Structure 1
């Protein structure tokens, strides 16, 4: 999901970028190395030293800074970033509306915010899917593409790109770091209810 999202953000060398949810830091280091941008990446759960060590291995240690910070209350001044993005993390934020208010605050006017992550489709839940323990977690956190679009638009962003990935089902099978029972859940669903989506908006006003 990373490349289509990054492309939609229209990054240029010298930009300052904020990533919400660093994971192991691969995206941040890749952006710094190949796009020529500076990346501050927020991560609450992973080891920040691992993120910085990977950036150093890629020759990008001076352009990547990993911080343990909450997206719902960020320690940055207004309009500090040219672009903000999240890959597979935004949907797990407890208060996404508050987080988006903060994202709006720290994004410069005409800058982009984008997400690429699991989203539910408009299809009904397939029979038997609710019997998987992990379904209850997904059902709590996942929203449709339209829900995400409306949330982003509501904070003054003009939607510039949004869609479900047609390859989403196969990508989940090939690339997810699975929790117990998650792969069986995905196989049972067959891409009917669980999908991967992208939504990008351009900040139109402060």
Structure 2
């Protein structure tokens, strides 16, 4: 059961979610990570910084909160409001142009963002894995599918389906095969996260136009198709 994320203010979380509750997702991910105080952690695609706040607060790590859509200044104000400005460094950067040295990080995480750029065959090898020290861990969580739609998008989902969803939403097996091709990491696990239903329900309760749009889609989906895929690997 996820306990650490429950102590954070519900209104603060709802105001800053940009999809399924990323704080609960990163809490479950962190159960498989070896996080120690003072480690340098890359939080790629951090959004409004919920994942960075959780990692810094709960583990005492130094987090480089990196995002393209949310400005570093906006995230810095949020970080200061939580009293974490000495543990979180906000960065504004695009995923293919990250301003970090190779092997700079002990751990790299990416929650609910990797599917926008990490579907490229060489992304892990060329852009993400090089930033992590040998022996360091890489952890990713993405919305996905229980099985690939080999016979097309199910009829009940078609009213809610956008073309880019066919590019970004994939099964555990699909992601495992993609990462298996990278010879600079060893895959530790690839699985469905247990917080799937809870993280989605938290998002649907938000007063957010995208959350309201997703209500009908999730009702039509009925727990039959969608997934939260987690990938964990060690840098070789």
Q: What residue number does 2:222 align with?
A: 190
Displacement over 6 Å in runs of 4+: none
Q: Distance in 1 between matches of 2:122 and 2:97?
A: 8
Q: Distance in 2 between matches of 1:24 and 1:151?
A: 28
Q: Distance in 1 between matches of 2:217 and 2:137?
A: 34
Q: Distance in 2 between matches of 1:49 and 1:143?
A: 33
| Larger CA deviation: 160-169 vs 33-42 | 160-169
- 2:28–2:195 Cα contact (<8 Å) kept: no
| Larger CA deviation: 118-127 vs 55-64 | 118-127
Question: How big is the alpha-carbon RMSD for the aligned residues of Structure 1 and Structure 2?
Answer: 2.1
Q: What residue number does 1:145 align with?
A: 172
Question: TM-score of the superposition, structure 1-length normalised?
Answer: 0.88
Q: 2:145 aligns with which of 94, 103, 120?
A: 120
Secondary structure of the structure 1 residue equivalent to 2:174 = helix
- 1:168–1:191 Cα contact (<8 Å) kept: no
Shift in Å, 1:114: 0.9
Q: What residue number does 1:3 align with?
A: 27
Q: Distance in 2 between matches of 1:154 and 1:113?
A: 15
Q: What residue number does 1:108 align with?
A: 133
Question: TM-score of the superposition, structure 2-length normalised?
Answer: 0.78
Q: 1:13 aligns with which of 37, 49, 69?
A: 37
Note if 1:97 corresponds to 2:156: no
Question: Which runs of 5 or more residues in structure 2 are unaligned?
Answer: 1-24
Note if 1:158 corresponds to 2:158: no
Q: Distance in 1 between matches of 2:116 and 2:97?
A: 15
Number of aligned pairs? 203
Name the CA shift for 1:110/1:142 in 2 (closer, same or farther; >3 Å): same
Note if 1:70 corresponds to 2:94: yes
- 2:148–2:171 Cα contact (<8 Å) kept: no
Shift in Å, 1:5: 0.8
Question: Which runs of 5 or more residues in structure 1 are unaligned?
Answer: none
